[in-house]
Amino acid sequence: MAAPHFIVFANEKGGTGKSTTAVHSAVALAAAGRRVVALDLDTRQRTLGRYLDNRAATMERLGEALAMPAYDTFDAARGEDVDAQLDRLAAETGAEVVVIDTPGRDDPDSRKAMLRADTLVTPINDSFVDLDLIGQVDPETYRVRRPSFYAELVWNSRTQRAKTHGASVDWVLLRNRLQHIEARNMRRVGAALDELSRRVGFRVIPGLGERVIYRELFPKGLTLLDLAHIGDVGISHIAARQELREMIAGFGLPHEGEAAPRAAAAAG
Residues 190-222: pLDDT tens digits?
A: 889 999 999 888 999 998 886 678 888 999 999
Q: Is the dihedral of CA 249, 220, 228, 238 positive or negative?
A: negative
The single-letter code of the amino acid at 45 is: Q
Q: Please give the Cα distance from 106 to 119 (Å, whole number).
A: 19
For the chain, where are the alpha helices, taking DSSP H only?
Answer: 18-31, 47-62, 82-93, 108-116, 128-131, 149-165, 183-200, 211-217, 235-251
Distance CA 10, CA 116 (A): 12
Q: What is the pLDDT of residue 49?
A: 97
Interatomic CA distance for residues 151 and 132, integer angstroms? 10
* Domains delineated in the chain: 5-251 (3.40.50.300)
State residue 179's pLDDT score. 55
- In 47-179, where does DSSP find H-type helix? 47-62, 82-93, 108-116, 128-131, 149-165
Q: In terms of DSSP bridges, do strands 119-125 and 144-147 run parallel, antiparallel, or are they unpaired?
A: unpaired
List beta partners, residue 123: 174
**Beta-bridge partner residues of 178:** none
Residues in the chain where the model's pLDDT stays below 70:
1, 177-182, 210-211, 256-268
The answer for 172, left when phi > 0, alpha when psi is -120 to 50, beta otherwise, is: beta
* pTM of the shown model: 0.90
Q: 21, 207 in Cβ contact below 8 A?
A: yes
Give residue 180's pLDDT: 52
Nearest to 24 by CA among 255, 254, 246, 203: 246
Q: Which residues of 7-43 are buried (b: 16+ CB within 10 A; e: fewer)?
A: bbbbbbbeebbbbbbbbbbbbbbbbeebbbbbbbbbe
Please give the distance of CA 79 from its chain centroid, rounded to a whole number.
27
* β 119-125/36-40 pair status: unpaired
